[in-house]
A = this chain, B = another copy of it.
Amino acid sequence: MKKVTIKDIARICNVGVSTVSRAMNDDPGINAQTKERILATMKEYNYTPNGSARNLKRNEANTIALLVKGIDNPFFNSFIKYYEEAIKKYRYSSVLYAVREEEDELEAARQLVKDQKLKGILFLGGVAQPTDEALEALEVPYVLCTAAINMNVSSDHALAVSIDDEGEARRMVDYLIKMGHKRIALIPTRASDISVGFLRVNGYKKALEDNGLEFDPQLVRYLKENQEAYTPKSGYEAAADLLDNGPDCTAIFAISDTMALGVYKAIQERGLRIPEDISVVGFDGLSMCEYLHPGLTTIIQPAEQMLKSSLDLLIRAIEGEGQQKSIVLAAEFKENESVKNLNI
């Protein structure tokens, strides 16, 4: 079974190759009937255009990449799923690229753009310290999804889709305070994190301030530089340290659901009960955490919507219709059983 080419189709249909090319590329200047006939023949002979030849000619691959930093973070799973679904609607092909924790995702992106002639990049997670220069060097539009877009970035290419991390964190802590909690511990990422982690910490501080509570550094358990962010392990270790050596608290705000999972264990392992002895809240909306016991109170990021918006934004930008620079989506506050109302 030899591969059927554009020439074969042309010969069979008794037309020139360019006519066939026009037929499959929706070129306006072509007779509707001829087009019909050609398309039918293509289908009959099971013809698919050779991508390499196309790209070679067009000197471009209509490809965008999803660049995930921390692919083993289950939070990204649903995004990836939606990505694969959503991309099919567009006439772009795509590659998924996983960047390791210690890798520089911007360098990796630059390499990819060059090697694969990418049209755009969708960053998921990561992008800790994106400087204008580094991002500009990409030379293609990109969208930072779930990542906080930094104040020091003003690049024209820079697009972002996220929730209001600071505001949502603030809302969460405010909720805890309204529930009567005054000693609220925080388990963030590393102190050096200036991305989403930073914003959520800010939200925590603001909520305290809003309510006239003092910020107590002792209640904040930053990860050590050698601990991996957003893992149950780190959450566990931080909570264990807090419970064993820290000041008393009535609630723990883990900055991600993955970490909240570890917090649960640290608490339960010590014979304490959630929420009777200590309340726990998370952030992100990992579906799995609904199945913790008790169900975790958290902020649910609208993964599907975020992904769709990101893709939309990216493709508009690629096609030069970009007007919007960033989209902030509403998150869902999910009240669950992990918080005790101290007012009662």
Chain A residues near B (Cβ < 8 Å): 3, 48, 50-56, 59, 61, 71-74, 77-78, 80-81, 84-85, 95-98, 100, 114-116, 232-233, 235-236, 258, 261-262, 264-265, 268-269, 287-288, 290-293, 295
Contacts and interface: CB of A to CB of B under 8 A. Distances in A.
B85 A81 contact: no
A205 to B, nearest CB: 28
Contacts of A258: 288
Contacts of A3: 59
B71 A61 contact: no
A291 B80 contact: no
Contacts of A61: 52
A290 B266 CA distance: 12
Contacts of A97: 84
A291 B115 contact: no
A232 B72 contact: no
A314 to B, nearest CB: 19
A232 B265 contact: no
A330 to B, nearest CB: 23
B48 A56 contact: no
Nearest to A263: B291
Nearest to A48: B115
